[in-house]
Chain A
Amino acid sequence: MSTTLVWGTITVYVLIALVIAVLSRNGKQNSMTGYFLGDRKLNGFVSALSYSATTYSAFMLVGLAGLTYNGGVGAFGFEIIYFMGVSLVAIFGPRFWLVGKKYGYVTPSEMLGDRYKNKWVAVAIAVSSCIFLIPYSAVQLTGIGYLLQGVTNDAIPFTTGVVLATVLALVFSYIAGIRSVAWTDSLQSLLMIITSTIVVILIINGLGGLSGFFNSLETNNPSSLAVPGNGFFNFWTFLGLTIPWFFFSISNPQVSQRLFMPASLKSLRHMLLGFLIFGFIYTFVSVIWGFSASIMFPNLENADLATPMLLSSDLVPPVLGVLVMVGIMAAAISTIDSILLTLSSLFSRDVYQNVKKGATDKKQLLVGKLVIPVIAILAYLFAQLQLDLIAVLSVSSSAGLIVSVPAIIGAFFWKKGSAVGVLSSVIISSLLVITLELFSLKPLNLASGIWGLGVSTILYVGISLVTKAPTEKANEFIGYIKQEMKKKKRIDVKSKIS
């Protein structure tokens, strides 16, 4: 790809995104809720697009296509199981939203700290989120570096790509907090869904239409259409991969925090349904890309090259190819800027506020804003170092964050859950996941995520049963949700009758 074209497209994209970010500055950003949650006033459309952009990082169009290239249709199944897991939002979404509004929660860990009546619960969950998500961001940055370097034949060096992405993520989150993030996210996801779908149509046509496409797969690579197929996706691997991702929508704070933001339950519903439709199309697109690359370039050494090869092929016009490439870069940035924002809110709300007594809302916001560049620089440094440990933590991020799932479910549905139960389950299971990943251990042939979930559930339930639960708070918290959900039901019945 021509370097001038790549730089030109990046420049145009950045200019448009900056204009949108600046325009998004309505409302007040001088409070924690204003800056990090958009005053809980986001509309459904922007929420849906931004939720999609945050969830689907560059992993989707590079990694999932690569996974399909290597393992066939199992990659599709993996992503569909994740997709099904987003249904958890239909159950947990209104509950998060209701208590968020009532108690003024800014972060999911703050909610757990309050629900279990123990500030260390908030601190522990916030810190464990940082341990896994900063490396995850670093790896996204590394990805952008390699991508730009690869498609321009080293004309844009690795470091330039990484610096560019770090600066953009920082700028997008700084201009207006969550509002600028949400609006630039929306630009990115619209650009991506349109351009990547056009690419699919062009490629399928080029390969002889749908029947031609599937015929070549069925003839040349039949095992790619079944699981375990070539053995890549044996059942236990599939289970180990899918379990952590299934719970992604409630375990990862950069997306679960989104459940506090919609203006109404109606907006929350639009966010969920909009995301499902978007995600379904996106999943299809990425998988078709991977399959197409396996037809067109069957002997790639590195499966992550499937997407770049496809986009530089004769079937895709160069301008479109570059546009999608820049879109992939933007996809990584849209994931990183949301994580930056979420982590800085976790730090100021859950660590700083709990350690420094009497920190006002203004002070917390100031600390949050100061921490954003610190986290960005940390991610940048990690990306430059390219340490093995960073890669390990990033890969294990979804498995590592799963350890808070029992505590989250319990917060809403089990009055006996105790703070000691949460602390022991989160801390011990996080360390277990890191150890398993670090030494590449798979006891009983089960992946780290399954161990993380299993052990954290046993510890949470077991230790809660023998320690004291905050009964009064539990009754109030769960009782409030029950009463509000009943109201919702009455309205529901009324609307059916009328």
Chain B
Amino acid sequence: MLNEREKKWGIIIAIIIFLGYLLPYTLLREVTAWYGSFLLWAILGIIIIWANIKLTQGWGEEE
């Protein structure tokens, strides 16, 4: 019931969210610097914006 574009970008978004929970509590647990969890969440946030841009492409065509 989701279309192909929704499936593709939906999965990417789901992976990003999963990484947003996983990495800070495992790999970056001891990294007490700006390039630790702070940078990771910032980058994941930007990827989410980009994924939403891609997912909603084509919405503009209809009235």
Contacts and interface: CB of A to CB of B under 8 A. Distances in A.
Interface in B16-52: 16-17, 20-21, 24-25, 28-34, 36-38, 41-42, 44-46, 48-49, 51-52
A77 B20 contact: yes
Contacts of A76: 37-38, 41
B38 A491 contact: no
B59 to A, nearest CB: 4
Given A80-B41, A226-B36, A488 B25 contact: no
Contacts of B21: 81, 238-239, 242
B30 A488 contact: no
B58 A225 contact: no
* A: contact size bracket: 35 or more
Most chain A Cβ neighbours within 10 Å, of B25, B31, B41: B41
A404 B7 CA distance: 24
Nearest to A83: B45
Contacts, number: 136
Given A222-B32, A239-B21, A273 B49 contact: yes
A118 to B, nearest CB: 23
Most chain A Cβ neighbours within 10 Å, of B2, B20, B42, B59: B59
A214 interface: yes
Interface residues of B, number: 44
A265 B61 CA distance: 8
B5 A489 contact: yes
A61 B53 CA distance: 27
Contact of B59 (A269, A283, A494): A269
A91 interface: yes
A272 B28 CA distance: 31
A91 B53 contact: no
A220 to B, nearest CB: 11
Given A73-B38, A77-B37, A272-B56, A223 B1 contact: no
A486 B58 CA distance: 12
Contacts of A403: none
Contacts of A276: 48-49, 52
Nearest to B37: A73
A84 interface: yes
Most chain B Cβ neighbours within 10 Å, of A225, A227, A238, A488: A225
Interface of A: 73-74, 76-77, 80-81, 83-85, 87, 90-91, 94, 214, 217-218, 222-223, 225-228, 235, 238-239, 242, 264-266, 268-269, 272-273, 276-277, 280, 283-284, 412-413, 478, 481-482, 485-489, 491-492, 494-495
21 contacts: A73-B41, A76-B37, A83-B48, A84-B45, A84-B48, A87-B48, A87-B55, A90-B9, A218-B34, A225-B31, A225-B32, A225-B36, A226-B30, A227-B29, A238-B25, A268-B59, A269-B60, A481-B1, A482-B1, A489-B58, A491-B62
